[in-house]
């Protein structure tokens, strides 16, 4: 059993009872010097002393339990890892607070919890009163949130990168999609002295010192081509990536690095699927994702992502929203060429078909969904999986959703069989429970922020959290 040093707790207990060290030592049948050493954490608090405390004062020995200390350390770690806390705090320091000053530790946890609740409330109210606006001065955006907002502000299209990738693809002439992989490998070696090998553990590993690009054999040909295209983005469009990343980061180093990667992926998609040809193929096939995937030799997610970027002035495709979620509802990718607003508060709507996709793996699901503001969207959702490549390893599984405003739906093959004109055919969804104003949603997980609840203990409605 680990020795328990709880001198501060014992001292606080003595002071609460208005006792001197000598008086407490006498009550516990200890010498004053021994008690002084316990209070100064020079001696551990033994089981025998704990039992004497219980017998003399009725003190619950759980007050000094190690389990409570471990829980408090975990809560402190969560609170003090908040982005608003600039300097990292070592676990040893947190343990010192939890063991020596537990009341202070609990106060910190409580204050942080109230701070987060106030921040969420302010953000939810801002989202409701001014959709798209940020709650000024409440919480700093995390680096990945800053990058998302940068892509959103640019409608998920960067003409400088897209046009440069299209010109490079024309020069290489390797064919569309995965078929261009040999041309990409040749370009890397001839123009940059980088030799491509397929023998790596990571999906893509570039070693400047050895002039080698190692790709994983676990990847499909289309995925390998995408990684080569990404490396070409860093080597051939570095100046553009740097300038745009500076614009996104506003001085933050982590945001700058994440933005460079996201922009390089944009270039890679444009290199694999050059704009003019891809747009024409998408229109000819009525945006059939699977047929486009067969044509380009690329996966469902990659095709969906590229479809969400077709916003070139004077040559626009359907403006799409692209989303990737996991089973827990975490949105790991979200990019929009539309004005569709994602809530940062309380998760997404459980009535959205992107979550239903997990119950029907690999099957394409369609849904007409209407937002509280009256806007209706056609959504296409499907799961995608990638094995880890080893027995017992956890694979990647996500659901991909692609949505567009209902006025564009007749251009999509996925509108087949749907009554686009029937307002009752749409599923009512929202941006998230805390900001959704729908009064009678049976799937509501949280009451709407900023509205008083109507609470009646004599009746129970089908929909929870009835708001006034």
Q: Provide block-wise average pLDDT over 10 residues at a time, the chain (468 residues).
A: 61 81 86 84 75 73 56 74 68 77 84 78 66 52 84 90 97 92 96 91 78 90 95 96 95 94 97 97 97 97 96 92 90 78 65 92 94 86 89 90 93 94 87 75 77 73 69
Distances in whole angstroms, Cα of residue 464 to Cα of each of 218, 351, 439: 47, 15, 9
Domains of the chain (ranges, CATH numbers): 7-108 (1.10.260), 141-317 (no CATH), 318-433 (3.30.450)
With 0.75 as the threshold, say if the pTM is over it. Answer: no
Longest CA–CA span in the chain (Å) reads 92
Q: 284-289 — which CB contacts under 8 Å span 24+ positions?
A: 285/413, 286/411, 286/412, 286/413, 287/317, 287/318, 287/411, 287/412, 287/413, 287/414, 288/413, 289/364, 289/380, 289/402
* Confidence (pLDDT) at 71: 63
Q: Which residue is listed with tokens 């000819």?
A: 284
Q: Give residue-wise pLDDT tens across range 18-72.
A: 888 888 888 888 888 888 888 887 777 777 787 787 777 776 555 555 546 666 7
* Confidence (pLDDT) at 137: 47
Q: Give residue-wise pLDDT tens across range 354-384.
A: 999 999 999 999 999 988 777 889 999 999 9
């Amino acid at each position: 059993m680990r020795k328990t040093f709880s001198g501060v707790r014992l001292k606080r207990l003595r002071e609460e009872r208005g006792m001197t060290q000598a008086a407490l030592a006498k009550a516990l049948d200890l010498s004053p010097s021994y008690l002084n050493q316990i209070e100064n954490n020079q001696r551990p608090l033994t089981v025998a002393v704990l039992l004497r405390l219980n017998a003399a004062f009725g003190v619950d020995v759980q007050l000094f339990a190690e389990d409570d200390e471990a829980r408090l350390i975990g809560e402190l770690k969560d609170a003090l890892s908040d982005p608003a806390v600039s300097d990292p705090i070592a676990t040893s320091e947190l343990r010192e607070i939890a063991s020596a000053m537990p009341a202070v530790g609990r106060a910190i946890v409580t204050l942080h919890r109230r701070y987060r609740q106030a921040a969420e409330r302010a953000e939810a109210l801002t989202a409701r009163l001014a959709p798209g606006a940020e709650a000024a001065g409440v919480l700093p955006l995390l680096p990945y949130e800053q990058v998302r907002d940068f892509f959103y502000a640019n409608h998920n299209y960067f003409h400088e990168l897209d046009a440069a990738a299209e010109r490079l693809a024309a020069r290489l002439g390797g064919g569309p999609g995965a078929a261009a992989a040999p041309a990409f490998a040749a370009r890397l070696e001839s123009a940059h002295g980088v030799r491509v090998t397929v023998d790596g553990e990571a999906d893509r590993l570039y070693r400047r010192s050895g002039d080698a690009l190692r790709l994983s054999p676990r990847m499909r040909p289309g995925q390998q081509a995408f990684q080569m295209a990404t490396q070409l983005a860093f080597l051939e469009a570095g100046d553009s990536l740097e300038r745009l990343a500076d614009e996104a980061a506003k001085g933050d180093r982590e945001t700058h690095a994440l933005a460079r990667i996201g922009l390089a992926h944009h270039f890679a998609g444009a290199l694999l699927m050059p704009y003019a040809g891809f747009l024409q193929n998408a229109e000819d096939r009525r945006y059939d994702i699977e047929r486009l995937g067969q044509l380009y030799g690329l996966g469902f997610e990659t095709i969906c992502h590229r479809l969400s970027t077709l916003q070139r002035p004077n040559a626009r495709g359907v403006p799409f929203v692209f989303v990737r979620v996991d089973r827990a509802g975490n949105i790991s990718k979200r990019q929009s060429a539309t004005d569709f607003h994602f809530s940062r508060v309380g998760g997404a709507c459980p009535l959205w078909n992107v979550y239903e996709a997990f119950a029907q793996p690999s099957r394409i699901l369609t849904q007409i969904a209407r937002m509280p503001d009256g806007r209706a969207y056609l959504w296409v959702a499907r799961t995608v999986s990638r094995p880890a490549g080893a027995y017992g390893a956890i694979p990647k599984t996500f659901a991909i959703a692609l949505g567009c405003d209902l006025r564009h739906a007749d251009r999509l093959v996925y509108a087949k069989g749907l009554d686009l004109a029937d307002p009752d055919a749409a599923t009512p969804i929202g941006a998230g429970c805390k900001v959704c104003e729908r009064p009678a949603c049976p799937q509501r997980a949280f009451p709407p922020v900023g509205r008083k609840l109507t609470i009646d203990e004599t009746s129970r409605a089908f929909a929870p959290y009835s708001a006034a």
